[in-house]
Amino acid sequence: KNEVEQSPQNLTAQEGEFITINCSYSVGISALHWLQQHPGGGIVSLFMLSSGKKKHGRLIATINIQEKHSSLHITASHPRDSAVYICAVQASGSRLTFGEGTQLTVNP
Provide the 3-class DSSP secondary structure of residue 98: strand
Alpha helices for the chain (secondary structure H): none
In the complex, least distance from residue 77 CB atom to other proteins, rounded to whole angstroms = 23
Tell me how far CA of residue 9 lies from CA of 23, 51, 55, 65, 105, in angstroms.
11, 24, 23, 22, 11
Q: Is 94 in the site for other proteins (CB under 8 A)?
A: yes
Which span sits near other proteins by CB under 8 A: 11-19, 41-49, 63-71, 75-83? Answer: 41-49
Q: Is 21 in the site for other proteins (CB under 8 A)?
A: no
Q: Is 80 in the site for other proteins (CB under 8 A)?
A: no
